[in-house]
């Protein structure tokens, strides 16, 4: 490419820097500072101050971004504290109800023993057989004593209260031993009576004690003695009915 200078008398002007003052100040500073270590120290302090300013600005931004999450977490903390307080209150009510139910069961547990017992013996009694007496050999093993109240929940090391174990297994109540004395005109009715007693879910340990022939009113009869034990049957054999029914 060929370039033609149409004005040969004029020299091309040098391009001047845009910031002559800055360059002159830098040259003057470099001439004044004779120790390079001092210059390095000043530059290092300037860099450290700039980095600290950058970190401070970034931390402020992160803090402003985390403040809404902090408020949300505090609100959830207050909600869960209220929920746990209500849960502990309900557990205390439950423990109180369990204690009251245990007291009621200990008082009313043996009230209907003999009604169940007489009902089962009556169902098992065959024809031409009657009873002379029916009595208990021992007392019930379920004394009418109020059970001790469950311990109040104590706070653990972690700060959470320990609730009482209300589902602990209660000791199984033993039965009521009783003796049946009766008469029958047929020895087969006596054996049938034993089988029907053993088939009852409320009567266990049926044991014939004695069976002998006696004469009453000039008639031979079989006098028998049976020992058995009454125990509460399984819940599958228990039928409940309402205490009151509407009558139309």
The CA-based diameter of the chain, rounded to the nearest angstrom, is 174
Phi, psi of 204 (to 5 degrees): -135, 170
pTM above 0.75, yes or no: no
Residues 206, 183: Cα–Cα separation, whole Å: 17
As given in the structure block, the two tokens for residue 51 are: 């980095």
Using alpha carbons, select from 145, 153, 142 the residue that is nearest to residue 96: 153
pLDDT tens-digit profile of 154-199?
544 444 445 444 444 444 455 789 999 999 998 899 999 999 999 9
The C-alpha angle 47, 50, 52, rounded to 5 degrees, equals 110
pLDDT tens-digit profile of 22-48?
666 666 666 665 667 777 787 788 888
Q: What is the three-class DSSP state of 119?
A: helix
């Amino acid at each position: 490419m060929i370039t033609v200078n149409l004005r040969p008398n004029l020299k091309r002007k040098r391009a001047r820097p845009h910031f002559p003052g800055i360059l002159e100040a830098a040259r003057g500073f470099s001439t004044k500072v004779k120790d390079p270590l001092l210059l390095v120290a000043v530059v290092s302090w300037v860099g450290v101050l700039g980095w600290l300013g950058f970190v401070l600005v970034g931390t402020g931004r992160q803090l402003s971004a985390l403040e809404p999450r902090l408020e949300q977490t505090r609100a959830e903390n207050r909600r869960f504290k209220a929920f746990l307080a209500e849960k502990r209150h309900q557990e205390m009510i439950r423990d109180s109800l369990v204690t009251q139910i245990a007291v009621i069961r200990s008082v009313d547990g043996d009230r209907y023993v003999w009604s169940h017992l007489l009902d089962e013996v009556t169902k098992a009694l065959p024809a031409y057989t009657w009873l002379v007496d029916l009595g208990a050999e021992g007392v019930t093993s379920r004394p009418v004593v109020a059970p001790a109240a469950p311990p109040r929940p104590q706070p653990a090391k972690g700060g959470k209260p320990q609730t009482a174990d209300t589902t602990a297994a209660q000791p199984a109540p033993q039965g009521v031993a009783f003796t049946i004395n009766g008469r029958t005109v047929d020895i087969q009715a006596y054996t049938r009576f034993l089988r029907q007693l053993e088939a009852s879910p409320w009567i266990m340990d049926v044991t014939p004690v004695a069976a002998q022939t006696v004469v009453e009113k000039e008639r031979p009869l079989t006098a028998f003695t049976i020992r058995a034990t009454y125990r509460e049957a399984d819940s599958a054999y228990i039928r409940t009915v309402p205490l009151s029914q509407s009558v139309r």
